[in-house]
Chains A and B, each alone.
Chain A
């Protein structure tokens, strides 16, 4: 196994007296696609929120290992700082900036990689103009990759569902991540769109990124993932390659329930 980019140890999250996630260990290695699956309410999105700084986990450690430099401990960092470290995410319920254009949505992703501020904006200095041009070029390039180049000036809310999901990925890619967290990227997509997404995710991986995704579409999970983690009731119940997981009795039990006369 190559070097890890994300290392999660003993991660727990309590909401008052409710333990949404307990002592979870997980590792994503460089260039790997890892899937996190589990029945509804298993704590997958809670896990994402803890890792990306939206929740502050009540126990355990999250370490990010940037390709260059020292590992960073992410616990307690604000979401924007986490993104700056090089880990970007998408959301399960699409959270686009609906009243902004497609291009502007992606340009927002460049925010943490650019510097110009009020004075630069008002006086339109040379540095600002160059930075702005770079932002536009880069954003357009990313939109071409995800196949939205024809819609640059449309409002995000006017896109089809599948296109909105792709735009979310594009926006996350614009932050220059080395690790991409996708929360149910195929939810609500038709088979055609799902197979396109399959290719897109593989292309992103081939571009040198590591990917951690939550997904319910088992066909997609099995075809994409190098390794799979399974959660149920806030705990990790299994991990392994797609073949191992699909044959694992514990996983089958979690998804389909137990045989009565067993």
Chain B
């Protein structure tokens, strides 16, 4: 079982922490009153807190070690995690997906209109996450300026609507197309970049778009934004506010299903495999005959398309947009969704988006600590489960064994 030695180590860690934080957390000098306040209770919290965390980490490590030993010792095929089995086997997956869909369809009648509205936002982030997942999760290109394409989509609808009275359904493909174009535009200069450098350039790109929208008054009306954007039309029927929220909700459900369908098909296709190969090893990927330029640009363009589409929907939902909605924080949240959920995994991204968007809404009381919790969760994830909540699974193929046989 757990060793006494480990306890001793944890105790030492907590004492060391208490010592380190002593001047900051315990002593409080008031220079005016000339008094020193000794807050010994703080020290107690530090000791207990660091001791608990240290013990947790140790227990986790010991278990991991033991699991590895067990696997090494008896060579049994280790059991697949339940989640992966469920995701792979159609006979579990289809009923579950059906139940989820049914729940999604009934959601507005089960919950209030306020809840439905929050759900629309969450679904928007699901699509954004799935879009970014193509770029970051599959192709392995760290894009920190993803919100720029979101902004392009939103502003293309807002401006087209403002100047030319273009309707939502016409703007939707235009916004998506424009975003894809911007994706290629960003893709060209960063073709040679990788990792950190790519992240910095994309971050800059996102900021450039936002600053242009903020400062080019004649074009985008600057920080005051564009208001009175029309909501999506339904064959010319005038909808009440409640009705239009419901309409929006079902529209979003349709978009999410469409996105899942397309991304799922892409993932196991020739182009999807090329993206993953690019992520795994760029040089080998090229040496195997994959056109790096084309593959990268496709990833950027296809990822941006979804952002553009959601941008149009966002503009139509809020009926008002300004550059403040497209800050770096948005990019960071979308990236968190992908990383937390599991890079490359569709189901993971959906789970990630629902957690990251719905939890803060329902825990409004703790909103001051939101960013703290955010950071904490990400750090913990990186340590204990770097592959995300749901690890990506690759499609498996089955062959009938016969000498020189054909695959099935």
In the complex, the answer to whether B281 meets A95 with C-beta atoms within 8 Å is yes
Interface bracket on A: 35 or more
In this assembly, does B6 line the interface, its C-beta being within 8 Å of a C-beta of chain A? no
Give the chain A neighbours of B289 by CB distance below 8 A.
Answer: 80, 83-84, 88, 109, 111-113, 175
In this assembly, does A122 line the interface, its C-beta being within 8 Å of a C-beta of chain B? yes
In the complex, the answer to whether A111 meets B270 with C-beta atoms within 8 Å is yes
In the complex, the answer to whether A97 meets B399 with C-beta atoms within 8 Å is no
In the complex, the answer to whether A116 meets B270 with C-beta atoms within 8 Å is yes
The interface-forming segment of A3-11, A132-140, A190-198, A233-241 is A132-140
Shortest C-beta distance, A142 to chain B (Å), equals 11
* B contacts with A: majority SS: helix
**Complexed CA–CA distance, A111 and B283 (Å):** 15
The interface-forming segment of B61-69, B117-125, B271-279, B363-371 is B271-279
In the complex, the answer to whether A103 meets B288 with C-beta atoms within 8 Å is no
Shortest C-beta distance, A45 to chain B (Å), equals 12
In this assembly, does A219 line the interface, its C-beta being within 8 Å of a C-beta of chain B? no
In this assembly, does B262 line the interface, its C-beta being within 8 Å of a C-beta of chain A? yes
The interface-forming segment of B107-115, B192-200, B290-298 is B290-298
In the complex, the answer to whether A79 meets B277 with C-beta atoms within 8 Å is no
In the complex, the answer to whether A112 meets B266 with C-beta atoms within 8 Å is no
Asked, given contacts A80-B286, A112-B288, A136-B397, whether A122 binds B262 with beta carbons under 8 Å apart, the answer is: yes
Give the chain B neighbours of A114 by CB distance below 8 A.
Answer: 270
In this assembly, does A91 line the interface, its C-beta being within 8 Å of a C-beta of chain B? yes
Shortest C-beta distance, B133 to chain A (Å), equals 15
In the complex, the answer to whether B288 meets A109 with C-beta atoms within 8 Å is yes
Asked, given contacts A80-B290, A99-B276, A100-B276, whether A132 binds B270 with beta carbons under 8 Å apart, the answer is: yes
Q: 1/0 per position for A55-70, CB-CB distance to B under 8 A?
A: 0000000000000000
Asked, given contacts A95-B283, A97-B280, A108-B274, whether A80 binds B292 with beta carbons under 8 Å apart, the answer is: yes
Asked, given contacts A100-B277, A122-B265, whether A91 binds B290 with beta carbons under 8 Å apart, the answer is: no
In the complex, the answer to whether B286 meets A122 with C-beta atoms within 8 Å is no
In the complex, the answer to whether B265 meets A121 with C-beta atoms within 8 Å is yes
**Complexed CA–CA distance, A257 and B273 (Å):** 49
Give the chain B neighbours of A120 by CB distance below 8 A.
Answer: 269
In this assembly, does B35 line the interface, its C-beta being within 8 Å of a C-beta of chain A? no
In this assembly, does B407 line the interface, its C-beta being within 8 Å of a C-beta of chain A? yes
Task: Tell me which of B273, B283, B292, B302 contacts A118 (CB under 8 A).
Answer: B302
Task: Tell me which of A97, A118, A144 contacts B277 (CB under 8 A).
Answer: A97
Shortest C-beta distance, A13 to chain B (Å), equals 17
Give the chain A neighbours of B81 by CB distance below 8 A.
Answer: none
Question: Which B292-315 residues have a C-beta within 8 angstroms of A?
Answer: 292, 298, 302
Give the chain B neighbours of A205 by CB distance below 8 A.
Answer: none
In the complex, the answer to whether A97 meets B284 with C-beta atoms within 8 Å is yes
Give the chain B neighbours of A73 by CB distance below 8 A.
Answer: none
In this assembly, does B74 line the interface, its C-beta being within 8 Å of a C-beta of chain A? no
**Complexed CA–CA distance, A84 and B294 (Å):** 15
**Complexed CA–CA distance, A116 and B269 (Å):** 9
Binding site for A on B (CB under 8 A): 262, 265-266, 269-274, 276-277, 280-281, 283-292, 298, 302, 392, 394-397, 399, 401, 404, 406-407
What are 16 A-B interface contacts by the 8 Å CB criterion? A54-B287, A80-B286, A88-B288, A88-B289, A95-B281, A97-B281, A99-B280, A100-B273, A112-B290, A116-B271, A120-B269, A121-B272, A122-B265, A122-B266, A132-B270, A153-B397
* 16 additional contacts (CB under 8 A) given A96-B281, A118-B298: A52-B287, A78-B286, A78-B291, A88-B289, A95-B284, A97-B276, A99-B394, A113-B289, A122-B265, A135-B270, A137-B407, A139-B407, A149-B401, A152-B399, A153-B394, A153-B396
